[in-house]
Structure 1
Amino acid sequence: MLLKLAWRSLMHRRGSVLLAVLSVAVSLTVLLGVEQIRNQARDSFNRTVSGVDLIVGARTGEINLLLYSVFRIGTPSNNISWQAYRDIAEQPRVAWTIPISLGDSHRGYRVVGTSEAFFNHYQYGQGRALTLASGHPFAKTHDVVLGAAVATQLKYELGDSVVLAHGLGSTSFSHHEEHPFTVSGILEPTGTPVDRALYISLEGMEAVHKPHGQTHSDLTPSSVTAFMLGLDSRVATFQLQRQINQYRGEPLLAILPGVTLSQLWQMLGMVEKILLLISAMVVLAALLGLCIMLLTSMRERRREIALLRVIGAGPLQLFLLIQAEALLVVLLGAAGAFLAVFAGQWLLEPLLSERFGIYLTGTPLIEQAVTLIGAVLVTTFVVAAVPAISAYRQSLNQGLQTQT
């Protein structure tokens, strides 16, 4: 009965109520959308590299090794000798390896020397494999495969000539002009650091650093920057990690990429909290607007309250009536917010995955959403207490006047 009466009262003031519902819906959409993207961004960040059991580099900090081997940020403290790489790659439990050699760049983008194993075994997201939008992996010494962002920004196509530069700056005065590379393939967008790099073979990396005129008969590299490992059994991961960290030939460090990615994300946790706080403030502003609307309507509803008192409604019932109206407005706004989040996820998922590597998989986070909406309803009850108490007092005064 009380909800029915509250609904009819809202319909009588449908213009202002519609604006209040819209305001609440927009604010809750921001809150739920930020929470959805925040959780999915964390998951996508943790899946920047997938299916790799260990990343091995020269002994340095774990996060530093992850940054330059996966995100192409920073520089290594040292290289790994080819002999050490071969010793570990030939371990019985190692199923495949992806060597990584850094040092050159092209117009501000990193050049990565690697092998065909990179295209066969590197994964991102939820086990997504790399695919070529056009062309093929490097088959010749001077072939280069471009990440999607490189090809788009620099407007390269298959068959174009690319001159690499020594060093990592966007402007370089040392170019390998005597060793031009030919674009043989362009990767599909991944939304990961893979998009922002150029890929050549290890032999190609060695060839550009040979003195001009020297024979290229032996292009076996003397060292690599780092390498990724895939094992035939996850059970052996920790054992091999310990073995690598105790390698006697030279100081090495093996890290679990998933664990280190989580540590790195924790360092960025303050940004998460700030986003959530901003969203909560937006919702609070909308609820305060709802409170103001209800307070303003109290003066216009004196006759309505008087009639309700005449037919037997008590002060407590009027208090609960105002609370019910406020909660109905918030619930309608929440329903609209859920629909907006669902629609936004469906529309924005391709853009977010391609540009930012955020994969909005599955349905929005129901458990977190229910918790947030529950918190909003409790806040609504507290905020709506101001106009509800006003109605309560107004009904008491009218009751006393009736008695006299």
Structure 2
Amino acid sequence: MSALFSLAWASLLNRKGSVILTIVAVALSVALFLGVEKARSGAREGFGNTISGTDLIVGAPTGSVNLLLYSVFRMGGATAEVSWPTYEKIASRKDVAWAVPIALGDSHRGYRVMGTSPDYFEHYKFGGGQQLSFAQGKPFDDLFDAVIGSEVARELGYTLDTPVTLSHGLGAADLGSGHENRPFRITGILKPTGTPVDRTVHVSLEAITAIHVGWESGAKNPLADTIPEEMIRSFDLTPKTVTAIFVGLERKGTILTTRRAINTNRGEPLMAIIPGEALAELWNVTSVAERALLAVSAFVIAVGLVSILTSILTSLNERRREMSILRATGARPHHIFLLLVFEAGLVGFLGAVLGIVLIHGLIAVLAPLLQAQYGVAFSMGAPGLVDLAVLGAVTAASLVIGAIPALTAMRRSLADGLSVRL
């Protein structure tokens, strides 16, 4: 058997030009399949790491996935809001350890603006319990202070004390309908998290109320710019509503009873969701697209395997004399069969190994960039079970495919390769 392996290896080296091209084709198909799989699992891990340590998210009844998307991922918008007295009622519950309100709706040059309390920087966690930390500066403590995420600072070139103005609504640019009359000052820049926090401008809830003085009708009052900042600071700037509330409980065991109590609130209609359950529901929605993408990648591997079959079949006619000489020197038909099967298996094995090395090399180079830019986390360790499973599957499939040309070669007579065709 070892002699056959050696002979198969020598035969591949003799045809190294076409063999290398076939190996590269298999490697690229395997790398594509593994890349899609690792991106899928990395996206799930990145989404799952976006929020940690928050037991419940409370908002207006709008659907659990929608509430999760706009409160955590800053995608979409709320159809209704939660009143401030309701927030205070939830925060004062005996089973609630902390409650952090957030207010969404404004933007700055395409980035979402979020009003919140200073407790947000203490209680909001990501990536399995990591706390937000500052690369520069500190949390806001004045009415017109702002804390920005790492991507906002990097892309817009902002530093501490840079003045910024907010836009009303979610426009991509600060237009004349914005809040140019109420500029903010950057007092803190957060370290990268790989989450939507990096793409958010954080201000106080009172600041959200302050910049909307004169906007009570939904449009800017022409007299709004005439109200001096000192007068605004003297107003009661307690917000009337908030978009959502992040809640941490005293004991994890009360999460279901607390959720039920909030969802059955007799006053204002509310919805409390468990972030993990909402994420699972989100993955159920996207699972069809994931399976379709994996199926396309699997077909690409199939194309790579067909290239092995094509390579061996096209070489059979050129190797008629080689096969007949092997038969004449004592090789049996089953030896010819095993020789071609081993050749196909070696090509598949080498292609799969090269594909695994290629995708892990790309991950090692691109993982930090993808983590910082898009929050997609890729595991940086040695090849795992998925890689080994793909290696085994491609090798086994190559052995099976190699049986097709092997049967053709085995059935040819000894004289077929020794005769001269005119």
TM-score (normalised: structure 2): 0.88
Q: What amino acid is the match of 1:216? A: R
The question of 1:280 aligning with 2:282 is answered no
Q: CA deviation at 1:242?
A: 0.7
Q: Aligned residue for 2:35? A: 33
Most deviating of 372-381 and 18-27:
372-381
Q: What amino acid is the match of 2:349? A: L
Measured in 2, the distance between the counterparts of 1:234 and 1:319 equals 64
Q: CA deviation at 1:177?
A: 2.9
Q: Aligned residue for 2:319? A: 301
Most deviating of 354-363 and 134-143:
354-363
Q: Aligned residue for 1:125? A: 127
Q: Aligned residue for 1:263? A: 281
Q: CA deviation at 1:244?
A: 0.8
Do the aligned partners of residues 223 and 303 (structure 1) sit closer, same or farther apart at CA in structure 2, a change above 3 Å counting?
Answer: same
Q: What amino acid is the match of 2:38? A: Q
Q: What amino acid is the match of 1:393? A: R
1:14-67 alpha-carbon deviations (Å, 9 max, x no partner): 333223222222221222222122112122122222221110001221112112
Question: 2:333–2:411: 8 Å Cα contact kept in structure 1?
Answer: yes
Measured in 1, the distance between the counterparts of 2:408 and 2:210 equals 83
Measured in 1, the distance between the counterparts of 2:70 and 2:34 equals 34
Q: Aligned residue for 2:210? A: 207
Measured in 1, the distance between the counterparts of 2:94 and 2:192 equals 34
Most deviating of 18-27 and 64-73:
18-27
Measured in 2, the distance between the counterparts of 1:53 and 1:112 equals 20
**Unpaired segments of 5 or more residues in structure 1?**
none
Q: What amino acid is the match of 1:332? A: L
* Match 1:111 to one of 93, 102, 113: 113
SS of aligned partner of 1:168:
coil
Q: What amino acid is the match of 1:319? A: F
SS of aligned partner of 2:412:
helix
Do the aligned partners of residues 102 and 389 (structure 1) sit closer, same or farther apart at CA in structure 2, a change above 3 Å counting?
Answer: same
SS of aligned partner of 1:198:
strand
Most deviating of 252-261 and 145-154:
145-154
Most deviating of 350-359 and 72-81:
72-81
**Unpaired segments of 5 or more residues in structure 2?**
215-226
Measured in 1, the distance between the counterparts of 2:268 and 2:198 equals 32
Mapping of residues 303-382 of structure 1, within 5 Å:
303-361=321-379, 363=381, 366-382=384-400
Q: CA deviation at 1:397?
A: 6.3
Q: What amino acid is the match of 1:207? A: A
The question of 1:156 aligning with 2:158 is answered yes
Q: Aligned residue for 1:49? A: 51
Question: 2:145–2:185: 8 Å Cα contact kept in structure 1?
Answer: yes
Q: Aligned residue for 1:175? A: 178
Q: What is the root-mean-square deviation of aligned Cα atoms in Å?
A: 2.2
Q: Aligned residue for 1:216? A: 233
Q: Aligned residue for 1:248? A: 266
SS of aligned partner of 2:66:
helix
Runs of 4+ in 1 over 6 A off after TM superposition: none
Q: CA deviation at 1:184?
A: 0.9
Q: What amino acid is the match of 2:233? A: H
TM-score (normalised: structure 1): 0.92
Question: 1:150–1:198: 8 Å Cα contact kept in structure 2?
Answer: yes
SS of aligned partner of 2:101:
strand
Question: 1:27–1:279: 8 Å Cα contact kept in structure 2?
Answer: yes
1:263-302 alpha-carbon deviations (Å, 9 max, x no partner): 1222222332233233223222222222121112212222
Measured in 2, the distance between the counterparts of 1:262 and 1:187 equals 29
Measured in 2, the distance between the counterparts of 1:101 and 1:95 equals 20
Q: CA deviation at 1:340?
A: 2.1
Q: CA deviation at 1:398?
A: 4.2
Mapping of residues 49-128 of structure 1, within 5 Å:
49-128=51-130
Matched pairs, number: 401
Measured in 2, the distance between the counterparts of 1:19 and 1:259 equals 47
Q: What amino acid is the match of 1:253? A: M
Q: CA deviation at 1:258?
A: 1.4
